[in-house]
Amino acid sequence: MIFDPGLKIFVRSAPLGFEYGTGVFGPTPEFRKLDSIRSSLLDPRCDGPDPVYVIAMDVGKEEHRYVLEERMLLFGVVTFSTGRLGNEPVRSQGHVHKISSHSGWSPPELYEIWQGRALIYMQEHDADDPGRCFAVEAGPGEVVVVPPGWPHATISADFRQPLIYGAWCDREYGFLYDGIRTHGGLAWFPTLDSKGDQIQWQPNMKYRVRHLECKRPASYARFGLTDHCSIYELFERNPDLVQWVSKPGLLPELWQDFVP
């Protein structure tokens, strides 16, 4: 199943990348090489696809350029390679969003899965005690919210097909890796069983071991999200409905004891 994001962007598999349809702008994609994420993997010496994934930050319809810039919103698109990284699924290394100067917050992020099966892993802190830890499984058309300041990573749960997703981000985006790299990764490593069909989780003993809650996406009705349209179409209909991505202080009560 491939979800229609309401945006004419086409994914190439060989070579990995994107093409933009009429009326859609987008940058030259950035390639994330295997060497750049090794320090956060269970086996830093593993073999795997290279590049691991490709990302295009700042994609949208030409008619929305000014509104996106004015609202400090940015839409990104990512596609993962098929395959595996040693005994781990193809995945990102994990990061924390830097604090944006215009909001004073480490911004949240809104994911939408287009193809494949994703696990959005997140934990409260990148310190020795990671706090609460969640692994949220989502498929095409489903959305996941990562709250402000939480370290997180995206994992492909099906090595046989590419994982493709879009995300609303803060335009002043920046990624912080120091705390995660100090601990050799996040607090839990995803691993594949012998057939590659099931994800198992192994604790990273450089952290205090905490319970990992594996779950499906929460209901995000309080955020104004709906199942009736894509997250880009949601912005298109009413930009205020995703403004909290770049201005999380609009909804401070929703971040308290947040459960994704």
Q: pLDDT (tens digit, 9 = 90+) per residue, 30-39?
A: 999 999 999 9
Residue 107 near residue 246, CB atoms below 8 Å: yes
Q: Measured in whole angstroms, how far is the alpha carbon of residue 52 from the centre of its chain? A: 14
- Bigger pLDDT: 198 vs 245: 245
Q: Which residues pair with 13 in a beta bridge?
A: 16
Which pLDDT value is given to residue 101?
A: 97
Beta partners for residue 135, in sequence order: 121, 214
> Is the model's pLDDT at 26 over the cut of 90?
yes
- φ and ψ at residue 174, rounded to 5 degrees: -160, 145
Q: Which CATH superfamily is domain 9-255 in?
A: Jelly Rolls (2.60.120.10)
* 6-12: average pLDDT: 92
Is 237 a residue whose pLDDT tops 90? yes
Return the number of other C-beta atoms located less than 10 Å from residue 118's C-beta.
27
pLDDT confidence band for 68 (50 / 70 / 90)? very high
Domains in the chain: boundaries: 9-255
Q: Return the number of other C-beta atoms located less than 10 Å from residue 212's C-beta.
A: 16
- Mean pLDDT for the chain? 94
pLDDT of residue 195: 73
Give the pLDDT band of residue 147 (cuts 50, 70, 90). very high
Q: Kindly list the distances between the CA atom of residue 250 and the CA atoms of 78, 80, 223, 240, 241, in Å, as whole numbers in the listed order.
A: 27, 33, 11, 10, 11
Query: What band does 14 get if pLDDT is binned at 50, 70 and 90?
Result: confident
Residue 81 pLDDT more than 80? yes
**Averaged pLDDT for residues 195-218:** 93
**pLDDT at residue 12, as a whole number:** 87
Say whether pLDDT at 2 is over 90.
Answer: no
